[in-house]
């Protein structure tokens, strides 16, 4: 199931995630990919440090995802997959590689070559980091997810050490291509590719253990 939340504050989207994660774990709601665009906000993950926020002129929210600090803002597509890994093999590493593959394929659809970087999570181009990934898991149900830079202003990234990386170059699809890329086009690409690639890379097990 794909659910478009439109333009929504981070905290409101987090509340939706938390409720849906509990429902999926209980078996009362289907797996869902939430797609959203956030007003400007810095978020810090469990492994993060406020020292990586060099300028606090933008709101800062601490959250329970993995990773360090990142920025969300208009023109960036954020995806929160609420997926029951308990029924799909309980392999968090493979899930992260699935998210990277999804974003690499989406970027390629728009003519951008992206790749993984050894030892780092997310996707990268010759011009810098294109997408960040940070997830959380409760009872083997995922929350949080990815942020793909489409047409957003990347200047706010200059005021942080993104993902804890000093002077990390950040880019977007629009910056690479030299023309505006409509967020709706990228949203449709992600929504169209997500279900089939998920089932291909993380198929349901015939017998899955219940969540503890």
Bind-site residues for substrate: 65-72, 132-134, 145-147
| Dist. CA 98–CA 29, nearest whole Å | 22
- Give catalytic status of residue 168 as yes or no: no
Collapsed DSSP state (helix, strand, coil) of residue 15? helix
Q: Which residues define the annotated binding site? A: 65-72, 132-134, 145-147
Q: Give me the torsion for CA of 191, 127, 38, 58, rounded to 10°.
A: 170
Q: Give me the torsion for CA of 10, 14, 20, 23, rounded to 10°.
A: -170
Q: Which of 156, 155, 151 is nearest to 176 (CA)?
A: 151
CA 194 to chain centre: 13
Catalytic residue among 36, 130, 163, 175: 163
CA of 173: how far to CAs of 58, 68, 104, 204, in Å? 23, 23, 12, 33
Collapsed DSSP state (helix, strand, coil) of residue 196? helix
Contact status, residue 71 vs residue 155, Cβ threshold 8 Å: no
CA 112 to chain centre: 18
Q: Which are the catalytic amino acids? A: 163
């Amino acid at each position: 199931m794909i659910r478009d939340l439109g333009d929504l504050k981070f905290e409101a989207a987090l509340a939706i995630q938390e409720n849906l994660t509990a429902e999926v774990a209980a078996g009362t709601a289907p797996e869902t990919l939430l797609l959203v665009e956030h007003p400007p906000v810095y978020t810090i993950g469990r492994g993060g440090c406020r020292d990586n926020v060099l300028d606090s002129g933008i709101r800062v929210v601490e959250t329970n995802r993995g990773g360090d600090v990142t920025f969300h803002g208009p023109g960036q597509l954020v995806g929160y997959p609420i997926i029951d890994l308990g029924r799909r093999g309980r392999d968090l590493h493979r899930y992260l590689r699935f998210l990277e593959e999804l974003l690499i394929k989406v970027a390629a659809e728009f003519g951008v070559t992206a790749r993984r970087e050894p030892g780092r999570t997310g996707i990268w181009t010759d011009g810098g980091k294109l997408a960040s990934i940070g997830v959380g898991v409760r009872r083997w149900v995922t929350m949080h997810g990815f942020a793909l830079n489409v047409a957003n202003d990347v200047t706010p990234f200059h005021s942080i050490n993104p993902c804890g990386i000093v002077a990390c170059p950040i880019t977007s699809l629009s910056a690479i291509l030299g023309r505006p890329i409509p967020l709706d086009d990228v949203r449709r690409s992600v929504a169209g590719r997500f279900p089939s690639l998920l089932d291909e890379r993380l198929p349901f097990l015939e017998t899955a253990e219940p969540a503890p």
